[in-house]
Amino acid sequence: VSRRVKVLHNYHCQVCAIQLRGVAGPYAEAAHIQPLGTPHHGPDMLTNALCLCPNHHVMFDLGGFGIADNLQLLGLPGRLLTQKEHPIGTVFTAYHRVHFYEPGSAAGY
């Protein structure tokens, strides 16, 4: 799932569109919207994954921004960048909003 989401987005962050490149090639991180494992038990599936740059991955995990059901970003300007082949599960974005998103916290990053 992690490799697939990065390939689908050509290693571009779904928030800022940046593609980091190094000598080993492009770099991005796969982030689970509803985390895997205890206590969250999110599934390891494409609809529960995002392709993010390291900064936006950390911000997302810490609740610095959220994603509305219409894919507008909450706490940051803009809209989540998407690919037709990568639908986002609104059940997972809703879970993230309830358990992680803290309105106004992105300003501290």
Chain centroid to CA 61:
9
| CB of 4 closer than 8 Å to CB of 28 | no
Residue 37: predicted pLDDT:
93
Rounded CA separation 28/5 (Å):
10
Q: 29 pLDDT exceeds 80?
A: yes
Rounded to two decimals, the pTM is 0.92
Rounded CA separation 45/90 (Å):
13
- For residue 1, which of 31, 21, 26 has the smallest C-alpha distance? 31
Residue 103: predicted pLDDT:
81
Rounded CA separation 60/73 (Å):
11
DSSP 7-44: HHTTT--TTT---EEETTEEE-EEEESS-SSTTT----
Residue 105: predicted pLDDT:
63
SS (H, E, C) 56-86: HHHHHHCCCCEECCCCEEECCCCECCCECCE
Q: 104 pLDDT exceeds 80?
A: no
Residue 106: predicted pLDDT:
56
Residue 34: predicted pLDDT:
98
Q: 1 pLDDT exceeds 90?
A: yes
Residue 102: predicted pLDDT:
79
> Per residue in 71-95, pLDDT tens?
999 999 999 999 999 999 999 999 9
